[in-house]
Amino acid sequence: MDCIFCKIIKGEIPSTKLYEDDEFIVIKDVNPQAPVHLLAIPKEHFASVAELDDERAVVVGKMIKKLAEIAKEKGLDDGFRIITNKGKHGCQSVAHLHLHLLGGRQLDEKMG
């Protein structure tokens, strides 16, 4: 499958990995939009939150928990944002579910 995140997970494309377990990885975004911009990516390929089932939702919950822990380790005590994009209107550019962690500066109040 021609998926850039699957290739990163398999080690076929380099990435800066901050965390890995059996279910997901956390890497640095290659085009950071904030001083801290990380991506949590499940190892199972599925496109977006629209494809969640109960099992996948548990993994996504663990991804959120891990990102919050990393945010604490990185000293983002003034706050941060965790988001996921879905489809064209959501500006999703990689069709493999991922969560963005953004922080380290004042983020925009407007969400869209």
Supply the minimum distance, in Å, between the C-beta of residue 95 and ligand AMP: 8
For the segment 3-62, give every residue that binds ligand AMP (CB under 6 A). 4, 13, 15, 27, 29-31, 39
* Closer residue to ligand AMP (CB): 6 or 92: 92
Residue 98 appears among annotated catalytic residues: yes
Query: Other CB atoms closer than 10 Å to residue 87's CB: what's the count?
Result: 12
Six token digits for residue 60: 């996504």
The phi and psi torsions of 39 (rounded to 5 degrees) equal -125, 130
Q: Which residue has the tokens 């991506």?
A: 39
Residue (38 or 54) nearer to ligand AMP, CB: 38
How many residues make up the chain in this entry? 112
Stretch of 17-25, 43-51, 65-73, 89-97 lying at the interface with ligand AMP (CB under 6 A): 89-97
Closest CA to 25 of 35, 36, 38: 38
Catalytic positions are 98
